[in-house]
Structure 1
Amino acid sequence: MSSSHSCLFCSIAEKTIPATIVHETETLVAFLDIRPIRPGHVLIIPRKHFDYFDDLPASLAAEIVQLGQKLAKAMKAHYGVERVAFLFTGTDISHAHAHIVPMHTKADITSPAYISEQHLTIGPAVQASPEALNESAAALRAALQQ
């Protein structure tokens, strides 16, 4: 459970690779997803490496949830959405992380219940531009201060 140079999120936490950081504490880093489901899609990671959500100490999981709630309020204020999704998915990168996504429609975070095509190919989201990420980060930082 130590930091690994091969872990993308450890590199972000150590600031050895760039990320558009929205908020950080001694134990957590919140940054914008470069392939957002919606603009403002934030990932919260612990600075210390834990492979999966169920590996997190309860106190650290609670910190992630608390920051997620603060970010959700900021997203509601900034994006004018009624709901914000909070997910631990356990996919793609083996470093525990939560997704916080402003939901403009209930299908933003989807399930087979919302997909009418039985044979649908789903690919990665479009990569956001650095300008769009910086604009979203500045707005969310300001909303967190209110």
Structure 2
Amino acid sequence: MAESRAAFTERGSTKTCAFCAIVAGDASANEVFRSDDFVAFLDAHPVFAGHVLMVPTRHVQTYDELPIDLADAWVRTSQALERAVESAMDADGSLLIVNNVVSQSVPHLHLHVIPRSRGDGLRFWLGPRHAYASPDEADAVASRIRVALASAAG
């Protein structure tokens, strides 16, 4: 798995990151927020009007690489952005998405904040679903995740 992620994210590549170019001011974007740590701007290919992307100003490629010193500000800023998008767009709610490697079109961490209204026609579907073959299989999967989490915690 590490090899496929490394191949995708082009670690050490000299290729310009589209979001780093926006952060640096070398590419244009319709910004809605800028701080030392984050920039938020309208998605160039929105699902609906008001679809915003939030990125860290540091080149962080995936969610698991978000430095812990940015985590609190990431949550606070994304919550404020989510409320602002819903309010500005008179939305009933929103869809928040972070793709990690798979379906991540730009290898720079970004949060999608997409305004949603009842009956908007978006069919967001997580499927197909794959049930566990048995309670024993579910227990084994849960155990593998607990072991990996304990190992990651040190």
Q: What TM-score do the two structures reach when normalised by structure 1?
A: 0.68
Q: CA 1:93–1:81 in structure 2 vs 1: closer, same or farther (change >3 Å)?
A: same
CA distance in 1: counterparts of 2:118 and 2:79, whole angstroms:
19
Do residues 111 (structure 1) and 125 (structure 2) align?
yes
Structure 2 partner of 1:98: 111
CA distance in 1: counterparts of 2:89 and 2:77, whole angstroms:
18
Paired AA for residue 72 in structure 2: A
TM-superposed deviation, 1:35: 0.3
CA distance in 1: counterparts of 2:123 and 2:73, whole angstroms:
23
TM-superposed deviation, 1:3: 9.9
**8 Å Cα contact 2:23-2:57 kept in structure 1:** yes
Do residues 58 (structure 1) and 71 (structure 2) align?
no
**8 Å Cα contact 1:2-1:49 kept in structure 2:** no
Paired AA for residue 110 in structure 1: F
CA distance in 2: counterparts of 1:88 and 1:112, whole angstroms:
14
Structure with bigger gyration radius: 2
TM-superposed deviation, 1:28: 0.6
Please report the RMSD computed on the Cα atoms of aligned residues, expressed in angstroms: 2.5
**8 Å Cα contact 1:5-1:11 kept in structure 2:** no
**8 Å Cα contact 1:28-1:45 kept in structure 2:** yes
**8 Å Cα contact 1:52-1:96 kept in structure 2:** yes
Q: What does 1:1-146 correspond to in 2, within 5 Å?
A: 6-90=16-100, 91-105=104-118, 108=122, 110-112=124-126
In percent, how many aligned pairs have the same letter? Answer: 28
- In structure 1, list runs of 5 or more residues that go unmatched: 114-146
TM-superposed deviation, 1:4: 5.7
Question: Higher RCO, 1 or 2 (CA under 8 Å, sep at least 6)?
Answer: 1
Q: What TM-score do the two structures reach when normalised by structure 2?
A: 0.65
- In structure 2, list runs of 5 or more residues that go unmatched: 1-10, 128-154
CA distance in 1: counterparts of 2:58 and 2:111, whole angstroms:
14
Regions of 4+ moved over 3 Å: 1-5, 105-109
CA distance in 2: counterparts of 1:4 and 1:55, whole angstroms:
19
Aligned residues: 114
CA distance in 2: counterparts of 1:108 and 1:83, whole angstroms:
13
CA distance in 2: counterparts of 1:109 and 1:50, whole angstroms:
30
